[in-house]
Amino acid sequence: MTKKTGNHALEKGIFPVLLFYISFTTRKYYIYKIIFVKYLNTNIKNVNICFLFLLICYMQKAKKQLWDSFQDDINELSAPLQELLTK
């Protein structure tokens, strides 16, 4: 009989967290059904639901901040180009 090492990411609930993040970032809400049908009774009980919710909210906030800072950087870099184009 082989001994399990216990290092299975899918069994530890990491995969559902990634699916939650993908579903929030791509707005593909049908992925929720896959998560809850496949993992609710088996793997997701290892991960606190509140932790998942807070993680998703933080990822959404970080994504928005990154996008805003990216837009600011693009605006700063394109200002000299706009001046050259108007001359």
Q: What is the pLDDT of residue 16?
A: 57
Q: Cα–Cα distance between 56 and 66 in angstroms, integer?
A: 15
Q: What is the pLDDT of residue 1?
A: 46
Number of domains in the chain: 1
Quote the pLDDT of residue 62.
83
Give the domain range for residue 53: 9-79
Rounded to whole angstroms, how far apart are CA atoms 32 and 20? 7
List helix spans (H) across the chain.
9-12, 14-26, 30-39, 49-86
30 falls within a domain: yes
**Residue ranges for the chain with pLDDT beneath 70:** 1-50
pLDDT value of position 19: 59
User: Is 72 among the domain residues?
Assistant: yes
Whether residue 46 is contained in a domain is answered as yes
Structure tokens at 36: 């809850």
Q: Is residue 3 situated within a structural domain?
A: no
Among the listed residues 58, 45, 37, 38, the one whose alpha carbon sits nearest the alpha carbon of residue 12: 45
* C-alpha span between 81 and 47 (Å, rounded): 50
pLDDT value, residue 69 = 84
Task: For residue 1, tell me if it sits in a domain.
Answer: no
- For tokens 């290892």, the residue is 46
